Amino acid sequence: MKKYFVWFTIVAGVIMLIGCASNLAYEASKGNIKGVQTYIDKGANINEWVVGMSVAGTPLMHAAGEGHVNVVKLLIARGAKVNVRSKDGTQL
């Protein structure tokens, strides 16, 4: 039996469910290409805006921000949008 870990966080008074997408963003930010592949294969939303980490953004933004080129290439190959802007208007 597979175990899935889901947790809650409170941001600005709103309870948010953190699941696969934030795990994908976390693995992307750490450069774990096998972890990224696993979450994509399990159906994580590759373009979801993730909050609850130190910086909000997409998994692609997290990987690019940390300089993980191989993860960036994988995310783009699997359909990550490259023209997404951060809340302050910054683009990759």
Instruction: Give ∠ CA 44-32-61 in degrees, rounded to 5.
Output: 65
**Domains of the chain: total:** 1
The pLDDT tens digits of the residues spanning 27-75 come to 999 999 999 999 999 999 999 888 766 677 899 999 998 999 999 999 9
Q: Is residue 89 part of a domain?
A: no
Burial (CB count <10 Å: 0-12, 13-18, 19+), residue 22: buried
Nearest of 25, 27, 78, 80 to residue 50 by alpha carbon: 25
* Enclosing domain of residue 72: 18-77
Q: What is the mean pLDDT of residues 68-84?
A: 95
What number is the average pLDDT over the span 6-15? 43
Asked whether the whole model's pTM tops 0.75, one would answer: no
CATH, residue 71: 1.25.40.20
pLDDT at 87 over 90: no
